[in-house]
């Protein structure tokens, strides 16, 4: 296979972790006989500095001409002024909108070797293997808003959803549940929010009509926040709107012990020349400016995001499983970056961890 991957390293530790993921993809190409071409672009704070825009037109064209996009992270103290007209996060939201990436998949699967990396008891974590599907282009992040002014000091953001938006992400989540253990938990705040009442009604109707074989459960978002800590193994696929999904997946990352371990895939309806979704793949962690440039960031979430890229945008399941198995082998051998170093046999830096995964491949 020949494939073009757009790489957007971004800010902070983004360039460090994407470098390792690219090397892993190159190793996959060599082992399995594929040719991957990597094209680099600017997104986020670095794009503001270089081009005066968090999402330059060149980056959009680069991504649209690629089979998939690999992203590092955006943001940092340099661009944190909330009154600024341009912020790094605008680039991230913008590329999701331009590419039509309406669903974010965030798997949370416990690695046996890291059972003690979490602050939760091992017996609570036993059997955790869940997938959070987050709606990505609607809700409060994209609805009508107003910034406060010196004159009125009033601001608002609007959680806006339509039936088609809810239906398409529900179908994707339900199909994933059907291929896993057949259970879907839909998260909302229907006891308070009108948009959540629509969400619950549409999810219920669609599941009854199209996925009667998948068990459906409705869970209020505050209850889900509690259940993820108390009984996380009870869930299979969790479906949530944009804001709720954002918060809950950061919470769920602590089940695995570190945000540096969890990948994500953002998918839309547009297909690439391989007949697969042109997705965007990124670790769920931020730019971690406090450790940027020190060579200690955990690259495994980005490497596992590259595995999701192989699976969802290139249709290379065996190759994706090979990357995941290599990561498991490295962790089983006792290698750890500082964020998961408790009781480790060997603490290594970003480059050494990436090289160890390549060696296993």
User: According to the model, what pLDDT value does residue 344 have?
Assistant: 63
Q: d(Cα 251, Cα 228) in Å, to the nearest integer? A: 8
Same domain, 315 and 361: yes
Q: Write b or e for each residue in 249-268: b if 16 or more Cβ atoms lie within 10 A of its Cβ, otherwise e.
A: beebbbbbbbbbbbbbbbbb
Catalytic, 246? Answer yes
User: According to the model, what pLDDT value does residue 83 have?
Assistant: 79
Indicate the residue among 223, 256, 289 that finishes a domain. 256
SS3 content of the chain, % helix, strand, coil (to 5): 45, 20, 35
User: According to the model, what pLDDT value does residue 165 have?
Assistant: 97
User: What is the chain's mean pLDDT, rounded?
Assistant: 95
Same domain, 223 and 165: yes
Same domain, 2 and 66: yes
Instruction: Give the angle 133-135-138 at the CA atoms, nearest 5°.
Output: 175
Q: How far apart are the first and last CA of the chain?
A: 18
Same domain, 345 and 313: yes
Residue range(s) defining the domain that contains residue 172: 118-256
Catalytic, 339? Answer no
Q: Using CA of residue 335, residue 336, residue 341, residue 346, what is the dihedral sign?
A: positive
Same domain, 7 and 58: yes
User: According to the model, what pLDDT value does residue 9 have?
Assistant: 98
Query: How many domains does the structure of the chain reveal?
Result: 2
User: According to the model, what pLDDT value does residue 40 have?
Assistant: 98
Same domain, 237 and 304: no
User: Tens digits of per-residue pLDDT, 279-335?
Assistant: 999 999 999 999 999 999 999 999 999 999 999 999 999 999 999 999 999 999 999
User: According to the model, what pLDDT value does residue 317 have?
Assistant: 97
Query: For 3-26, what is the mean pLDDT?
Result: 98
Q: What is the CATH number of the domain that holds 20?
A: 3.40.718.10
**Is residue 118's pLDDT more than 90?**
no
Same domain, 238 and 324: no
Among the listed residues 188, 246, 281, 339, the single catalytic one is 246
Query: For 245-255, what is the mean pLDDT?
Result: 89
**Which residue did the predictor score with more confidence, 66 or 115?**
66
Indicate the residue among 256, 291, 325 that finishes a domain. 256
Per the CB < 8 A criterion, the answer to whether 103 and 265 are in contact is no
User: According to the model, what pLDDT value does residue 342 have?
Assistant: 73
Residues whose CB is less than 8 angstroms from the CB of residue 62 and which lie 6 or more positions away in sequence, other chains included? 6, 39, 41
Same domain, 198 and 122: yes
| pLDDT interval class at 346 (50, 70, 90) | confident
Catalytic, 188? Answer no
Query: For 157-172, what is the mean pLDDT?
Result: 98
Q: d(Cα 147, Cα 83) in Å, to the nearest integer? A: 9
Q: Give the pair of three-digit tokens for residue 341.
A: 């170093």
Same domain, 125 and 240: yes
Among the listed residues 11, 102, 161, 189, the single catalytic one is 189
Same domain, 10 and 99: yes
Catalytic, 222? Answer yes
User: Tens digits of per-residue pLDDT, 23-37?
Assistant: 999 999 999 999 999
**Is residue 343's pLDDT more than 70?**
no
Same domain, 174 and 296: no
Indicate the residue among 234, 256, 278 that finishes a domain. 256
Query: For 141-155, what is the mean pLDDT?
Result: 93
What is 159-196 written as a DSSP string?
Answer: ----HHHHHHHHHHHHHHHHHTTSEEEEEE-TTT-HHH
Catalytic, 250? Answer yes
């Amino acid at each position: 296979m020949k494939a073009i991957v757009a790489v957007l390293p971004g800010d902070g530790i983004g360039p460090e972790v994407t470098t390792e993921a690219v090397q892993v993809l190159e190793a996959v190409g060599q082992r399995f006989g594929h040719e991957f071409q990597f094209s680099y672009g600017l997104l986020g704070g670095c794009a503001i500095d270089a081009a005066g825009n968090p999402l330059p037109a060149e980056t959009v064209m680069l991504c649209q001409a690629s089979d998939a996009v690999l992203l590092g992270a955006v943001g940092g103290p340099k661009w944190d002024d909330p009154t600024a007209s341009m912020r790094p996060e605008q680039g991230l939201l913008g590329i999701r909108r331009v590419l039509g990436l309406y669903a974010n998949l965030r798997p949370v699967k416990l690695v046996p070797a890291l059972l003690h990396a979490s602050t939760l008891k091992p017996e609570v974590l036993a059997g955790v293997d869940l997938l959070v599907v987050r709606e990505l282009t609607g809700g409060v992040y994209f609805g009508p808003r107003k910034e406060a002014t010196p004159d009125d000091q009033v601001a608002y953001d609007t959680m806006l959803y339509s039936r088609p938006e809810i239906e398409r992400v529900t179908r994707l989540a339900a199909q994933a549940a059907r291929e896993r253990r057949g259970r879907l938990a839909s998260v909302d705040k229907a006891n308070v929010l009108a948009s959540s009442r629509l969400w619950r009604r549409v999810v219920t109707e669609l599941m009854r009509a199209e996925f009667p074989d998948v068990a459906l459960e409705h869970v209020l978002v505050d209850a889900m926040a509690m259940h993820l800590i108390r009984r996380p193994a009870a869930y299979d696929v969790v479906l949530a709107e944009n804001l709720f999904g954002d918060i809950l997946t950061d919470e769920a990352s602590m089940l695995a012990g570190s945000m540096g371990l969890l990948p994500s895939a953002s998918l839309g309806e547009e297909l690439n020349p391989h007949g697969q979704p042109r997705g965007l793949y990124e670790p769920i962690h931020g730019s971690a400016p406090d450790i940027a440039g020190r060579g200690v960031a955990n690259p495994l979430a980005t490497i596992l995001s590259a595995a999701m890229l192989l699976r969802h945008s290139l249709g290379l399941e065996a190759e994706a499983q090979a990357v995941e198995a290599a990561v498991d082998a490295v962790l089983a051998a006792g290698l750890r970056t500082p964020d998961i170093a408790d009781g480790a046999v060997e603490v290594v830096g970003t480059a050494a961890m990436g090289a160890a995964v390549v060696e296993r491949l």
